Structure 1
Amino acid sequence: MLERPLFIGSEIYRGSSYGGWHPLRVPRVSTAMDLSRALGWLPREAFVTSPRAKPAALHAWHTPAYVAALQAAEAALQVSDTVRARHHIGTVSNPVFPEIFRRPATAAGGSILAGELLARGGVVYNPAGGTHHGMPDRANGFCYLNDPVLAMLSLRHHGARRIAYVDIDAHHCDGVAAGFAGDPAVLMISVHEENLWPRTGELCDDAGGSGLNLPVSRGLNDSEMAHIREALILPTVADFAPDAIVLQCGADAVTEDPLAHLDLSNNAHWQIVAALKGLAPRYLVLGGGGYNPWSVGRLWTGVWATLLGQDIPERLPDAAQDVLRALTFTGHRLGRNPPEHWFTSLRDIPRTGPVRSEIFDRVAYLRQRWKNRPL
């Protein structure tokens, strides 16, 4: 059993960008690292430098041809039309950039290592992980590799027989579903915005019996997510009795995200992080989406605080404020006049509201379907 939660990170994320126009041009993991250190929450003994996964480790799910294509793209900083068509590298969503292999291979290496570190139980946080769209032979939705799949395979290799995967990113986890559909030893729960790319994960889609998909309408608020947490996520995970829980904690479901249309505060994410913590001996929390540098950095730093059991201060100390004031978000209206509380606090004001009937109905439907599943 790990003596304390561990934070997996790397300096490769500092300054690495998908390009000046891409949603992933913003710093995210480095911000969470810097904020955590500024708050005194990340001592040297809690930080693990992420290794870069070697091709052989990636071949546990990705094809050798695809991994080789990523390496070749990094070496040449370009791809042929044939490679682009086959592997979807060099597209608008999945551009060629200087660290196109090293960066995702580092995130994947961290998630694979987490499976090993958790062999005897504990808590690990890898905010660079959560790239849940990657497919075996192609990039997909900004994701070149699928580190959640690789993490789950690593957990299984190191003794976890039953794994619950919970995904609260605004986008459906189509790559993870492709990896574990029909696997009776895996439970997948995804809460995602309806009709948002990749437009998979419909309510009726049970991923071959392994999944519960909850598409939600625009404007999902904290009260609705609290109902989903208490009436669907927690009882279903408890029923499943997993040996390990993997939580993909994408930050794109909060109000300020530029790519999604949900209305959560970061409190909703932290409450799920806390609630799942005691339901399995192994707990791995990953990052995921999130394209506003302030909302991502604040949310993911709060995830780490939650895993540590740290109280989140009402007002940040000057060193932490300096980290947030140094951020920029060029090319988007949200970066023109950021509100003062993005600099001075981690915690959002809760965004509560009425729970719509469709949320009650869909949660009840999924719970009943779970109860009626073949055993």
Structure 2
Amino acid sequence: MRVPRVSTVLDLSRALGWLPPDRFRVSPRAKPAALATWHTPDYLAALEAAERAGAVDPPTRDRHGLGTASNPVFPEMFRRPATGAGASLLAGEMLAGGGRIHNPGGGTHHGMPDRANGFCYLNDAVLGILSLRRNGAPRVAYVDIDAHHMDGVEHAFAENPDVLLISTHEERRWPFTGHLHDAGLGEVFNLPLPRGLNDDEMALARDRLILPAVEAFAPDAIVLQCGADAVEEDPLSRLSLSNNAHLDMLRALLPLAPRFLLLGGGGYNPWSVGRLWTGAWAVLSGQDIPDRLPPEAEQVLRGLRFDGNSRGRNPPDHWFTALRDTARLGPVKPEVTDRVASLSARIGAIPGRWL
């Protein structure tokens, strides 16, 4: 989590002239009362206390998952996630009249009501959906293309028929949830995908499952969790997408609802995360992505370091000079076709909006 992600997106967007002052808002830090719309007061108090003390006792660690290898104690362990959550809460209010918002510091989809989980201390995705629904968008479609399953968001809304949940994620990867036929009383579509997933396979899932399901649901708002850990260069997954798969997914979903909230998520290679999420901001805000980055933007990427992983020792030149990857095309594996078809058969049962 030391990877510079949001700062890289902001620096790149500004270097490209895509982020004038009137399109940028500093995220407020959400107060415990706002966070308690989903998180428990006891957990929020424990999270604040852990930040103040710089440590947790064994009972707190056992109850709330704080101070573990995947949820370590660090100096801003309440303030930083509360700021990311504040952005998603504010986005729900700002989108009351329609529009598009990017919160690259969001997408912390593993957080649970009473526990930290998978580097996620708060669940801004859940809080953003709740904020959208309070502010005039009762039907929300949540699409998650992170390499990891959206376990916290599913925990929140699996029984809610007014929230459509769709997750594509690598099979047999932590948190080891989101199996093909898992479903609640609401509208839940989990698509576990094999290692080596390519752009053509993701396009099949997009065109035959995700877009038809969202269209049938007819949402008032769409939330897209755009985790960058599903691309080839990420060190924590074994999927092989180019960033074009994410940008094409975003472009296809945009026309399907009047309100759109784009979240960040996973991503542990600073070049692939920064390039992908900056490209996503270009799509969201109507910018043309150049084939070759100007010197100011290239300088941002050349200033990054990734010493903790072998992929950062000899970065290829296109990590500095272009936002778009070369497409990673390939054959569609039979198991991908079969799984998409299995879930697609359920689309006709999605209750559409009463007009």
Residue type of the alignment partner of 2:296: A
Report the residue type matching 1:262 in the other structure: L
State the AA in 1 paired with 2:74. Answer: F
2:30 aligned counterpart, secondary structure: coil
SS at the partner of 2:260?
A: strand
Amino acid at match of 2:205: I
Find out whether 1:364 has 2:332 as its counterpart.
no
> 1:374 Cα shift?
7.5
TM-score, scaled relative to structure 2: 0.98
Partner of 2:302: 325
Normalised TM-score (structure 1): 0.93
The answer on 1:190 being equivalent to 2:167 is yes
User: Is contact 2:111-2:123 (8 Å) kept?
Assistant: yes
The Cα of 1:207 is off from its aligned counterpart by 2.8
Amino acid at match of 1:192: H
Aligned partner of 1:29 in structure 2 is 6
2:48: which partner in 1? 71
* CA separation of 1:373 and 1:151: change in aligned 2, threshold 3 A: closer
Q: Note the residue ranges of structure 1 that are not aligned, 5 or more in a row.
A: 1-23
Number of equivalenced pairs: 352
Partner letter of residue 153 of structure 2?
V
Correspondence for 1:293 = 270
Q: Which residue number in structure 1 is paired with residue 203 of structure 2? A: 226
8 A Cα contact 2:16 2:297, kept in partner: yes
Distance in 1 between residues matched to 2:58 and 2:312, nearest whole Å? 35
CA distance in 1, matches of 2:271, 2:292: 15
Instruction: Compute the displacement of 1:359 (Å).
Output: 1.3
Counterparts of 2:175 and 2:231 in 1: how far apart (Å)? 19
Answer yes or no: is the 8 Å Cα contact 2:216–2:350 preserved in 1.
no
Distance across 1 between alignment mates of 2:132 and 2:34: 13
Aligned ranges 1:158-237 → 2 under 5 Å: 158-237=135-214
Match of 1:252 in 2: 229
Q: How far did 1:373 drift?
A: 5.7
Show the counterpart of 2:88.
111
Q: Which residue of 1 aligns with 2:248?
A: 271
1:102 aligns with 2:79: yes
Instruction: Report the 3-state secondary structure (helix = DSSP H, G, I; strand = E; otherwise coil) of the residue aligned with 1:139.
Output: coil
Rounded to whole Å, the distance in 2 between the matches of 1:223 and 1:83 is 46
Deviation at 1:357, TM superposition (A): 1.3
Does residue 1:348 correspond to 2:325, yes or no?
yes
SS in 2 for 1:25: coil
2:157–2:186 Cα contact (<8 Å) kept: no
Residue 310, structure 1, aligned to residue 287, structure 2:
yes
CA distance in 2, matches of 1:152, 1:223: 30
Change (3 A) 1:94 1:106: same
Matched residues, percent identical?
Answer: 67
The whole-number CA distance in structure 2 between the counterparts of 1:319 and 1:37 is 9
Query: CA RMSD, aligned part only?
Result: 1.0
SS in 1 for 2:156: helix
2:147 is the alignment partner of 1:147 = no
Match of 1:227, as an amino acid? Answer: L
Deviations 1:206-229 (A, max 9, x none): 133320000000011000111111
The AA in structure 2 aligned to 1:226 is: A
1:82 lines up with 2:62 in the alignment: no
Check whether the contact 2:187–2:350 (CA below 8 A) recurs between aligned residues: no
TM-superposition CA deviations, 1:126-159 (whole Å, max 9, x none): 0100000000000000000000000000001101
Q: Following TM superposition, where does structure 1 have runs of at least 4 consecutive aligned residues deviating by more than 3 angstroms?
A: 372-375
* Distance in 1 separating the partners of 2:10 and 2:31: 24
Alignment gaps of 5+ in structure 2: none
Counterpart of 1:361 in structure 2: which amino acid? D
Letter in 1 for 2:85: A
Tell me which amino acid in the other structure corresponds to 1:271.
Answer: D
Q: What are the residue-to-residue correspondences of 1:7-46 with 2, within 5 Å? A: 24-46=1-23
Answering whether residue 100 of structure 2 is matched by residue 123 of structure 1, we say yes
> Please, which moves more after superposition, 205-214 or 29-38?
205-214
2:240 maps to amino acid: D
- Distance across 2 between alignment mates of 1:326 and 1:218: 31
Tell me how far apart the structure 2 counterparts of residues 209 and 118 of structure 1 sit (CA, whole Å): 24
Query: Out of 46, 52, 55, which is 2:29 matched to?
Result: 52
Deviation at 1:372, TM superposition (A): 4.0
Matched residue SS, 2:97? coil
Give SS of 2:345's match: helix
Aligned residue in 2 for 1:335: 312
**SS at the partner of 1:52?**
coil
Deviations 1:344-367 (A, max 9, x none): 111100000011111111111101
CA distance in 1, matches of 2:271, 2:61: 33
Letter in 2 for 1:72: A
What does the per-residue CA deviation read over 1:280-300, in whole Å, with 9 as the maximum and x for residues that have no partner? 011000000000000000000
Instruction: Specify the code of the residue in structure 2 equivalent to 1:269.
Output: H
Q: Distance in 2 between the 1:96 and 1:269 partners?
A: 32
Deviations along 1:85-104, whole A, 9 cap, x unmatched?
Answer: 11111100110111100000
